[in-house]
A and B are shown apart, each in its own frame.
Chain A
């Protein structure tokens, strides 16, 4: 139990479907993240929310749409995805502002397969 919970753990969706990934953190942190992990590639930072405001969007395609309604919850809305979007999507949180030693705590990830 990492304190960061993701649902669903596994998702198979067609290219025309709309689905959402959910993340909840129980650590009292003020920043939340979405990462994408594909085979043989490094973890890719997709979105960062700090104090519920989006502070970074690393040129992620618009078919991925994040939502952060409060500091404990983060969603990733998925729409008209492509097969190459199949990957492990990791949510993470951290407490920013406490110095460079802040580390990131990850959820267990949502395995997404686009067919």
Chain B
């Protein structure tokens, strides 16, 4: 089986930096994804990690440690439009290589 744990809610200030953590357990890890979902909208793809280390994409970065079953999403220079839910998901070979989602972290940005 698998578990994906991430905080339910976080609050940060406009212009600041926030780190959203995700821990996971899988039968066969085959990649980790982060998605952003604004209220009432579809989740959209943010990042993908399969090897250890940091992947940077503009203001957003994602880190992976496979030995620790751990990832984080780092958001810099926060903007009000970053208020959304952030979903951690893993591809699990033990689940026919399907992408399994966590419950998501709701991020509130304060002015």
Quick check: is A101 within 8 A (CB to CB) of the other chain?
A: yes
Q: B91 contacts the other chain (Cβ, under 8 Å)?
A: yes
Q: Is the interface of B mostly helix, strand, loop or mixed?
A: strand
User: Given the complex, which residues of B lie within 8 Å of A104, measured CB to CB?
Assistant: 45, 99
A90 near B42 with CB under 8 A, answer: yes
A105 CA / B42 CA spacing, docked (Å): 9
* Contact of B44 with A by CB under 8 A: yes
- Convert B72-111 into 0s and 1s, putting 1 for each residue whose CB lies closer than 8 angstroms to a CB of A: 0000000000000001010100001111111110000000
| B63 contacts chain A at the CB level, 8 A cutoff | no
B42 partner, pick from A41, A100, A101, A109, beta carbons under 8 A: A109
Q: Quick check: B102 and A107 within 8 Å, CB to CB?
A: no
Evaluate contact between A101 and B102: CB separation under 8 angstroms.
Answer: no
CB pairs A–B below 8 angstroms (23 shown): A4-B42, A40-B103, A41-B103, A42-B100, A42-B102, A42-B104, A43-B43, A43-B101, A45-B98, A55-B96, A56-B98, A90-B42, A100-B30, A100-B50, A100-B91, A101-B31, A103-B99, A105-B45, A106-B43, A106-B44, A108-B41, A108-B42, A109-B42
Which chain A residues (57-99) contact chain B, with CB distance < 8 Å? Answer: 90
Residue B48 is within 8 A (CB to CB) of chain A in the complex: yes
With both beta carbons as reference points, the residue of chain B lying nearest to A88 in the complex is identified as: B40
Counting chain B CB atoms within 10 Å of each CB, the highest count among A55, A56, A103 belongs to A103
Residues of B within 8 A of A (CB): 4, 30-31, 33, 41-45, 48, 50, 87, 89, 91, 96-104
* A41-B89 Cα distance, complex, nearest whole Å: 14
Residues of A within 8 A of B (CB-CB), count: 20
Residue of A nearest to B88 (CB): A42
Please report the C-alpha to C-alpha distance between residue A40 and residue B102 in the assembled complex, in whole angstroms: 10
Q: CB-CB < 8 A to A103: which residues of B?
A: 33, 45, 48, 99
* Most-contacted residue by chain A among B4, B97, B101, B102 (CB, 10 A): B101
Kindly provide the distance from the CB of B80 to the nearest chain A CB, expressed in whole angstroms. 21
Q: Which 3 A-B pairs have the closest CB atoms?
A: A106-B42, A43-B101, A100-B31
